[in-house]
Every structure is written in C-alpha cells, then in structure tokens.
Structure 1
Amino acid sequence: MHDPHGERMDARETRAAGGLALVFAFRMLGMFMVLPVLSTYGLDLVGATPALIGLAIGAYGLTQAFLQIPLGVVSDRIGRLPVILVGLLVFALGSIVAAQADTIWGVIFGRVLQGAGAISAAVMALLSDLTREQHRTKAMAMIGMSIGLSFAVAMVIGPLLTGAFGLSGLFFSTAGMAVVGILVVLFIVPRPDRMLQHRESGVAKQALGRTLRHPDLLRLDVGIFALHGILMASFLALPLALVERGHLPKDEHWWVYLGALLLSFFAMVPFIIYGEKKRRMKHVLLGAIVLLLLCELYFFWFGNTLRALVLGVLVFFTAFNLLEASLPSLVSKVSPAGGKGTAMGVYSTSQFLGSAAGGIMGGWLYQHNGLSGVYLGCAALALLWFCFAVTMREPPYVTSLRVPLSAAALAVNGLAERLKAEPGVADAIVVAEEAALYIKMDTKQLDRMSLERLIQAAC
C-alpha cells in the first residue's frame, strides 16, 4: 500500500538499509571473530610471542584508522560502489593471506590488509544517497544494531569455528563473508540516482577544525580510544586466563561469552533508559567507566577460578556494551549542527587507533608482566579516561536534522540566527551549496512540522 506521507521506508530504502546492514555485519564478524581466539591459538604460529600476538590483534586498527576518512573522501569523487567493492576485495585478500600464514608475521600482514578495506565512511555515505531525510536515522540505527549483533555472534562462533577448523579455517570463513558482502552490494543494494553531499554522514573539511577544537567531542574521542584499547588488551588476557586459571579448554570458551553477552544486554538497558529519560547520561557514562575500572581490578585480585572469571566477564560486557551504546549517542548530541558526520569520522578513527594501541599494549604487558600486568594496565587506562570524562558537561538532549530548503528559504537573510532564537533550538547552520538547513533541536519543545512552519513563515 502506498504511503503518501512518507512515514514508512519504501521497498527501495528497506533494501538499501537491510543490504548495507548485512555488509557491515559480515565485515565486522570477520574483524571480531579473531578476538576471543588469537591469544590462545596464535601461540602455535612460528615466531609467535605475546607481544606479536597483541600486534596481530590490533594491527587491523592501524590501517582502518589511517584510511577510513581518506577513502570516504575518495568515495565522494569516484563513487561509493567502487570504494566499497574494492574495500571488500582487499578485506577478503587479507583474510586469505592470514589463513595461509604459518608464521605470526604472516597473520599480522593479513590483519593489516584486512584493515585496509576501510569502507565504513563510504557505506554510510551510500546509505545517505539511498534514503530520504526522514528515514535516515532509522536506517543508520539498523546498521548500528547489525554491528552490535555481529560482535555478539563473533564472540560465540569465533571459538566454535577455530575449535573445529583451526585459525586458517577461521580466516577462510572471514574471506567467505567478504565475498557474501560483495554479492549483497552487487545484487541487493540499489544503485543511487545521485551522490548526496551530506554533513550528517560524511566528513566535511569545513567542519573539521571546529570538531577538533571541541572539548567535549575530544573527551568522547579519548573515551572510545580507551574503551577499545581496554577491549583489545583484555581479550588478549581473558582467553589465556580461562585456560590457565579457569582450566577451561579453549574450544569451550564460547559458552562463557554467549551467557555473558546475553545477560549483559538485558543488564544495560535500564541504565540507558534511565540516562535518556532523566537526562543524566553523563552520570551513566561515569558510572560505567568506574564499573570497567573495578572489573579490571577484580580480575587482578580475584580472577583465579572459572566461577570468578565468568562473573567478571559478565560485568565487563555489561559495562562495555553500555559504553559502546552510549558514546555514539553522546557524539550525536554534542556535535555542532552540520558537524555530526565529521565528528563521527574523527570518533571512528579514534576507535580504531584505540584497538591498535590496546592490542599492542596488552601483548607487551603480558609478555613482561603476565596477566596481572594487563589487568593493571587496563585499570590505569580506565582511570585516565575517568579523569577526562568527569569534566565533561551534561550533553544537550537534542536531535540532529537536515532539512532541504527551497530557493525562497535560502534567500532569507539570517535564517539560522532567527531559528536559534526559537525555544528548543540549540544550534543551526544553513549550507547554501547543499540547499539545506542543519539544526539541533529539543523535540520535546519543537517538532519537525512546527520547524517547517517557522521556516515558511520566515520566507
């Protein structure tokens, strides 16, 4: 049935959002499946040391961090599809290199190649090209859910696949997932009619300086760096701890991660609801950082039995999932009007740099100080993060919108300033070359229809 008001996504938009969510999910599965198994199975590789295992865990983050924004800019010039397809091919090639390697350096090179297929920015830009304004947030949420789900699935099937087929089988399966992603792009994802220059989903040079000088955005960038650093370092130590101290065979680790992830998803939901409804997300953020810090100290003091480790993993995942879900939302709230895409680009780069640093740090600490050194290193990183985060202001509870403007509206002098004077409007900017208004507003005080009436009245 036709929807005249455009309240629901049409078939083309649904195909685009679903197809691109699948591409993200398959690619992130390939990234994450290595996490719970490389520290235990990787020690059998020729030349392997804990420090080099850590480098292999974090290596993909280095190339992801340095190539993500540049490849997003390239996609603006030559098109999204070539960048996405070549990126998936490079990811598949990296997986095959790692699968055929019998030395740790071969796996490290394969992981570096995997990271070079940095397609996140191009995928988000293509999603903007294929969806209407009113459905873009919904479509991006679908991709966000696919990433979260792929992380959960990877934690479970990574140990199962590696137990059955070894590390080479695991890497060959990630290559297969990249090929499936290519097929999804070729046969499911629609072709865009045009390339949209969109500041909510892509990096804008004009917004870069403002983003890099924004103190609260920098605090959030430090946060995602620390969070993924702690994740990578912890997952060098925890699989080893389950074997050495919990006496759990490495091919049975999947049930620990499955149980912990399922329970942690339910445990974090009340805190998200409380933070959003009561508008106290800063307090929720600080509480979760403290929980992460205490969790690492708990592993240091009490992580000597299987029961203690399983309990610790549950608490760790509750804090991690809560922070992983909260931080992008805070970036969206805090970023200036028209700066969300740029802010998310810098944020994602910080995330991948954190993954690389965490893997390297965890490997080095384990080689020189054992499991205790990794736990204390992660606790120190969490404490440093808390010191940065505690000075952050409570974020504004606003929604970011991009509203196309008519020629008459574009001709209005000072439209953005007029709108900023309205109750509920936190920030606004008119971008003439896009014929669009970017605005951040409190939807409890001003809805989209009222905003459009205000724009019409100003013309």
Structure 2
Amino acid sequence: MSAAERRSVASLATLYAFRMLGLFMLLPVLSLYAGEYNHSTPMLVGLALGIYGLGQAALQVPLGMLSDRIGRKPVIISGLLLFAAGGIVAASADNIIAVIVGRLLQGTGAIASTLTALLADLTREQHRTKAMAAIGMSIGVSFAVAMVLGPLVAAAVGVSGLFLLTSLLAVIGVFITLWLVPTPDIGGIDANNQSLQGLLGRCLRDSNLMRLNLGIFSLHAVLMAIFVAVPSLLEDQGLLRADHWKMYLPVMLVAFIGMVPLIIYAEKYNGMKRVFLSAISAIIVVLFAATWFAQDYWYLVLMITVFFVAFNLLEASLPSLVSKTVYPGGKGTAMGVYSTFQFFGAFCGGALGGGLFGRWGVSALFVGAAIFAGIWLLVAWGMTVPAKSENLVLSWQFGVWDAARLRREVLELPGTFDITVLESEQLAYLRVSPNFDPATLPDGIRLSS
C-alpha cells in the first residue's frame, strides 16, 4: 500500500471503530436497565435492542446510491449526525417507546455501505482485501471493548449517560471524517452506473451468496435474541450489574484466542466447510442445553464463551467467503446486500427474542434461537467453499472487442473462473486461479492497475 492508502485505511478503521463501539456498548446492558423505563416489556426491550437494524437495513442501499451522486463525505457526516441525534433522544427518554424511537433514529444513520464505497475509492483493487481485513479487525476489537466497557459506563452514569456517550462518539466520528479521512476525486464516482440493477439481480440469484447472506442474518438474529435475556440471567445468579464486565473480559479474550487455531486449520488444511458447520452446530448445542441449565451461573459463562468463539469465527469467515464467492466486479454490490441482511437479522432477532421471552419465558427464547440456528445449519449444509482465486482488471481499445467475444475467448484460457464485463467503460473483472499466466491473454487485452 502507498502512504496515502495506509492513511485512508487507518482513518476509516478508526471511524468504523468509534461508530460500532457506540452501537455495541448497549448490547450487554439495555435489557438490564429497561425496568427503569415506563411501559417496559420484554417484547419492547427486544424491539429497542434490534430496531436500529431496521433503519440500517432499509437505508443501506439508498444512502449508498445517494453517495454516488453527492459524494461520500456528506452522506457519512449526515449519517453520524442522525446517529448522534438518536442517542440524545434515547438519553432523554423516560419510557421505552421513546428509547425505541431514539434507536430507530440511530439506525437511519446507515453509512456502512457508503464507508465501504469510500474505502474502495481510496484504495487500489490489489490492496482492497487487506484494507477490508483491517476494517474487520477494527470492528471485532470495538465489539470486544464494548462488551466490557458497556457495563462499566452504565454502572457509572446509567443508560442515559451511555446513550449520550454514543452521541459523543458519533460527533468525534464527524471530526475524523472531516480532518483525517482523505476526500476522493469526485470525478471517480459514477453517478449514473447503469450496471447496478444487473449486478444486484445477479447477486440475489446466486445461491452460494444467498446462503452466506442468510447466514449473517441468522447469526445476528440469534445474537440479539439471546441478549434480551442473558444480562438479566447473569444478574439473577448474583453477578452485580457493575461487575458484568469481569465476566465479559475473560470470555472475549478466550473467544478471540479460541477462534485463531480454528481459522488456521480451516485455511491451511482446506477445512473451512467442516469448521463453519461445526461452529453453527456448537451454537445449537449450547442454546438447547441452556433450556435446562440457564439458571446455573457457570453454565451461562460456558455457554457465552462457546457462543462467542463460534460467533467470532463465523463473523470473520462470512465476509471473507462472500468476497471469494462473488462474481468479478460485484464485490461492492454483494457487500451492500450482505450488510442489509446483517442489520435486518439484528432487528428480527431482537423483536422475536423479546416476544418469545415475554410470552413464554427464557426456555422458549433459547429453544427458538436454537431452532433458528438449526434452520441455518440445514441451509449451510449445501455450501460450496470457493477455490482460491484473485481478480484481475482488464481493459482494451474501444471498438476492438465486444462483451460476447471477450467472454468467449478469455474464459477458454486455463485458470479462468468467471468474468464481469463493463463494455461501456472498456473494463472487465476476471477471476482467475493463483497460477494463471497473464501472458496467455489475447492480443489487445491488457492488465489495468
């Protein structure tokens, strides 16, 4: 990476971390303090936990498209200010309905797809995977920190203070955007990309991509559902609210350390599918067992530990599998769809988890979450792990090649998998095996940086 690219990735990773920290800190505490609000019920608490996902899911693609027209930074800054406003609304609430409204307003600051697009604007294709890995690492670290910091902050200043802190983090994000994140050349943004509809349709028709999209939906649905109940169960077992961080800190450390050898095994020994399905199975087992042992403190600790080992593994593996599975040139579209499924899963999990917990109790909640994960396991069973590949960007002189001829002749070459042709731009994205020889490309086709 160039110095400018390193600066871009570092500043965007910091921005992601601040924004996600504000979202995640509420996860381990909101259900604990929900009794302080008027009209609070388990159903409404679950809705308050997950409602931000509805706003995020509904606006990811529209705001991403808007950023193509007016630029990335105006959309990002507006989204952060909406998030900050939602935090202020929730902080001033004295009833759970107002908290839900504040959380929904936070969700309308749906800037994940725009941030991803900005990252693409500021980095070259050959460095995109490393850049996304850095962003993913920042999100993972912010999640772990939030699980520890959330209970500490809430114990010190209450949930209202925690909401105000999320607003402050969003405002800091605005300053990071203005002062640290580079501004891309507006001329590089295509406001009239005619290929969007075709790329989106191709993404939705791809069965392997849809398996992964349903996977991230299920993973975040289960996460939100169980955290309607887990914090209060820990308190029922005698763990004071102010001390919840003492449990989450070692659990998150073990979860991060525990997933490392599994990822190494999956990558080194071609065992991704076995590890992936085993992680889903582990979640199902601990959730079903929780219906009998949820009142035992040490089982709860074990369940949360196993869950987060599996969660971290799946959370890291899913976007990597999407990037390897997606057709050439469609990564941005695929990740936008993926993010929409992720946030909609959070909304559905919070709402359904709260409904199950409120109507039939904690056992029904865990059984429901386990059945949900079981359906995911059945869907994932037929997954195909993509072969190792890399993407090349091809260009050619205007009028010499057309899309049909290009596809026919290039895909006959050994080591080629798939190609996406943008004929009007004289560009094509070619997915090839690592041992593909570019010298075999037909005359008149050249590699672009």
| TM-score calculated relative to the size of structure 2 | 0.94
Aligned-partner Cα distance in 2 for 1:80–1:456: 37
Contact 1:76–1:195 (CA under 8 A) maintained in structure 2 = no
Could you tell me which residue of structure 2 aligns to residue 384 of structure 1? 375
Aligned-partner Cα distance in 2 for 1:350–1:332: 16
Instruction: Give how far 1:354 is off.
Output: 0.6
Instruction: Give how far 1:408 is off.
Output: 7.0
Instruction: Give how far 1:426 is off.
Output: 1.3
Aligned-partner Cα distance in 2 for 1:60–1:289: 25
Matched AA of 1:405: S
Structure 2 counterpart of 1:337, from 317, 325, 328: 328
Matches within 5 A, 1:161-240: 161-196=153-188, 204-240=196-232
Instruction: Give how far 1:274 is off.
Output: 1.7
Matched AA of 2:141: L
Matches within 5 A, 1:20-99: 20-99=12-91
Matches within 5 A, 1:353-364: 353-364=344-355
State the SS of the aligned residue for 1:421: coil
Determine whether 1:454 maps to 2:444.
Answer: no
Instruction: Give how far 1:27 is off.
Output: 0.8
Aligned-partner Cα distance in 2 for 1:282–1:213: 22
Determine whether 1:117 maps to 2:109.
Answer: yes
5+ residue gaps in structure 2? Answer: none
Contact 1:43–1:53 (CA under 8 A) maintained in structure 2 = no
Structure 1 counterpart of 2:359, from 368, 377, 381: 368
State the SS of the aligned residue for 1:219: helix
Could you tell me which residue of structure 1 aligns to residue 297 of structure 2? 306
State the SS of the aligned residue for 1:437: strand
Contact 2:43–2:357 (CA under 8 A) maintained in structure 1 = yes
Instruction: Give how far 1:220 is off.
Output: 1.4
Contact 2:402–2:423 (CA under 8 A) maintained in structure 1 = no
Moved more, 332-341 or 157-166: 332-341
Give deviations 1:263-307, integer Å, cap 9, x for gaps.
Answer: 111111122122222223222211111001011012222232222
Could you tell me which residue of structure 1 aligns to residue 413 of structure 2? 422
Aligned-partner Cα distance in 2 for 1:409–1:428: 19
State the SS of the aligned residue for 1:173: helix
Could you tell me which residue of structure 2 aligns to residue 403 of structure 1? 393
Aligned-partner Cα distance in 2 for 1:276–1:431: 33
Contact 1:99–1:172 (CA under 8 A) maintained in structure 2 = yes
Instruction: Give how far 1:107 is off.
Output: 0.7
Aligned-partner Cα distance in 1 for 2:142–2:79: 19
Give deviations 1:217-238, integer Å, cap 9, x for gaps.
Answer: 1211111111100000111111
Aligned-partner Cα distance in 1 for 2:97–2:371: 29
Matches within 5 A, 1:257-276: 257-276=248-267
Matched AA of 1:262: L
Aligned-partner Cα distance in 2 for 1:270–1:74: 42
Aligned-partner Cα distance in 2 for 1:17–1:426: 30
Instruction: Give how far 1:435 is off.
Output: 3.5
Aligned-partner Cα distance in 2 for 1:395–1:151: 27
Give deviations 1:306-339, integer Å, cap 9, x for gaps.
Answer: 2221111110101111111111111122222222
Aligned-partner Cα distance in 2 for 1:356–1:298: 25
Structure 1 counterpart of 2:94, from 87, 96, 102: 102
Moved more, 296-305 or 358-367: 296-305
Matched AA of 1:237: A
Moved more, 284-293 or 299-308: 299-308
State the SS of the aligned residue for 1:253: helix
Aligned-partner Cα distance in 2 for 1:434–1:210: 19
Matched AA of 1:384: I
Contact 1:73–1:203 (CA under 8 A) maintained in structure 2 = no
Instruction: Give how far 1:197 is off.
Output: 5.4
User: Alpha carbons of 1:119 and 1:434: their partners in 2 closer, same or farther (altered >3 Å)?
Assistant: farther
Matches within 5 A, 1:111-150: 111-150=103-142
Matched AA of 1:344: M
Instruction: Give how far 1:250 is off.
Output: 1.4
| TM-score calculated relative to the size of structure 1 | 0.92
Aligned-partner Cα distance in 2 for 1:158–1:299: 24
State the SS of the aligned residue for 1:405: strand
Determine whether 1:348 maps to 2:335.
Answer: no
Aligned-partner Cα distance in 2 for 1:203–1:342: 10
Give deviations 1:163-220, integer Å, cap 9, x for gaps.
Answer: 100001101111010011100111111111235459xxx9922211111111121211
Moved more, 414-423 or 18-27: 414-423
5+ residue gaps in structure 1? Answer: 1-8
Instruction: Give how far 1:417 is off.
Output: 3.2
Structure 2 counterpart of 1:251, from 217, 242, 251: 242
Aligned-partner Cα distance in 2 for 1:139–1:86: 24
Contact 1:55–1:359 (CA under 8 A) maintained in structure 2 = yes
Instruction: Give how far 1:361 is off.
Output: 0.9
State the SS of the aligned residue for 2:229: helix
User: Alpha carbons of 1:285 and 1:154: their partners in 2 closer, same or farther (altered >3 Å)?
Assistant: same
Question: Aligned pair count?
Answer: 441
Instruction: Give how far 1:420 is off.
Output: 2.1
Aligned-partner Cα distance in 1 for 2:293–2:27: 23
Contact 2:389–2:432 (CA under 8 A) maintained in structure 1 = yes
Aligned-partner Cα distance in 2 for 1:203–1:326: 28
State the SS of the aligned residue for 2:361: helix
Could you tell me which residue of structure 2 aligns to residue 6 of structure 1? none
Aligned-partner Cα distance in 2 for 1:182–1:402: 35
Aligned-partner Cα distance in 1 for 2:54–2:147: 22
Aligned-partner Cα distance in 1 for 2:162–2:133: 29
